[in-house]
């Protein structure tokens, strides 16, 4: 299992390096694909997708909604990106009303939630890369998320004693969380020195990014606990589905995008 996880992890890092360096349409369609696959995993977990059919009206509306969102992000100014969320939600409500009572309210809420959670929040990977000097800001997302995750695991294994969320994730400790944030900030410092970036700002960004990455990880775990599933999928050997591997990235990408937009302009 460890070897499988390691190989998959190396492939993921290589893919992040390639798409991040190239950017543009390559990253755009990569993020779109990630969002659509992640949405499918969420639809399956929340029972939005029919068990006996590959597709249903509601999940198709969700897939189309995410596509509309990405088109708006690509072709419209940032001030109008909310339209890319409003139109998909209206589409989902249209399906809800005109197929009533085919779907329950919780299924509709899950489909609408996917537009933001797997659609908009993952699209911030692309949006961060497209900022001025975004080729540098883009890596702060992975430094914060994967750096803090690795740091929290190592520090927690060595020094962890106090449980952070004993019911939701018994193995996570307060010491590990503090260590993870500290290591992410340290990596932000090193990254700033290597790229001649703003040291204090990169460290602040990594601080908040690391905290949000932990919340993202725990949020995805909470959904799995509520839905009584172990993994969201099996697309990534040794890791599970897109939501299992990108749960922290989903929360980190938006905070890096907005902090980079505000603090580095």
Dump pLDDT digits (tens) for 29-78.
Answer: 999 999 999 999 999 888 887 666 778 899 999 999 999 999 999 998 87
Q: Reply yes or no: is the peptide bond before residue 85 cis, omega within 30 of 0.
A: no
Distance CA 191, CA 136 (A): 9
| Cα dihedral sign, 15-16-18-24 | positive
User: How big is the chain by its Cα radius of gyration, in Å?
Assistant: 19
Token pair belonging to 238: 């040794």
pLDDT of residue 165: 86
Distance set, CA 190 to CA 42, 143, 246, 259 (Å) = 36, 11, 24, 19
pLDDT of residue 212: 93
Distance CA 250, CA 256 (A): 11
Average pLDDT for 253-261: 93
Residues recorded for the chain: 265
Model pLDDT for residues 161-209, shown as the tens digit of each residue? 888 888 888 888 898 999 999 999 999 999 999 999 999 999 999 999 9
Per domain, the residue ranges of the chain are: 1-22+133-265, 24-129
Distance CA 197, CA 149 (A): 23
CB 112 within 8 A of CB 244: no
Q: Which of 236, 19, 241 is nearest to 138 (CA)?
A: 19
Model pLDDT for residues 70-109, shown as the tens digit of each residue? 999 999 887 778 899 999 999 999 999 999 999 999 999 9
Model pLDDT for residues 119-163, shown as the tens digit of each residue? 999 999 999 999 988 899 999 999 999 889 888 888 888 887 888
Kind plus residue range of the DSSP H or E element containing 164: strand 163-165
Helix (H, G, I), strand (E, B) or coil at 10: helix
> What are 163's strand-pairing partners?
173
Distance CA 216, CA 142 (A): 13
Helix (H, G, I), strand (E, B) or coil at 231: coil
Whole-number mean pLDDT of the chain?
Answer: 88
Residues in contact with 169: Cβ distance below 8 Å, sequence separation at least 6, in sequence order: 217, 218, 221
Q: Which of 96, 137, 107, 125 is nearest to 32 (CA)?
A: 125
The alpha-helical segments, DSSP class H, found in the chain are: 2-22, 24-45, 57-75, 83-98, 105-114, 121-129, 134-159, 174-195, 199-227, 242-263
Half-sphere exposure of 107 (CA within 13 A, CB side): 21
């Amino acid at each position: 299992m460890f070897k499988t996880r390691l190989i998959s992890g190396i492939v993921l890092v290589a893919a992040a390096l390639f798409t991040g360096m190239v950017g543009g349409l390559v990253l755009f369609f990569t993020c779109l694909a990630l969002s659509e696959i992640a949405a499918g995993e969420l639809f399956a977990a929340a029972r939005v997708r029919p068990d006996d059919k590959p597709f249903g009206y509601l999940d198709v509306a969700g897939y189309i909604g995410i596509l509309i969102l990405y088109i708006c992000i690509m072709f419209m100014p940032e001030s109008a990106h909310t339209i890319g969320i409003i139109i998909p939600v209206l589409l989902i409500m249209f399906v809800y009303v005109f197929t009533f009572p085919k779907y329950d309210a919780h299924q509709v809420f899950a489909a609408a939630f996917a537009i933001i959670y797997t659609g908009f929040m993952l699209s911030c990977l692309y949006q961060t890369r497209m900022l001025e000097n975004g080729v540098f800001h883009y890596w702060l997302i992975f430094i914060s998320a994967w750096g803090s995750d690795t740091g929290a695991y190592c520090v927690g294994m060595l020094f962890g004693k106090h449980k952070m969320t004993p019911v939701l994730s018994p193995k996570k400790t307060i010491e590990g969380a503090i260590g993870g944030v500290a290591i992410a900030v340290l990596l932000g410092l090193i990254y700033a020195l290597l790229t001649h970036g703003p040291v204090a700002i990169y460290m602040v960004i990594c601080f908040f990014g690391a905290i949000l990455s932990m919340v993202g990880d725990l949020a995805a775990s909470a959904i799995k606990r509520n839905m009584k599933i172990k993994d969201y999928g099996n697309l990534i050997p040794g890791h599970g589905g897109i939501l299992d591997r990108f749960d922290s990235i989903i929360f980190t990408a938006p905070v890096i995008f907005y902090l980079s937009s505000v603090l580095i302009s």
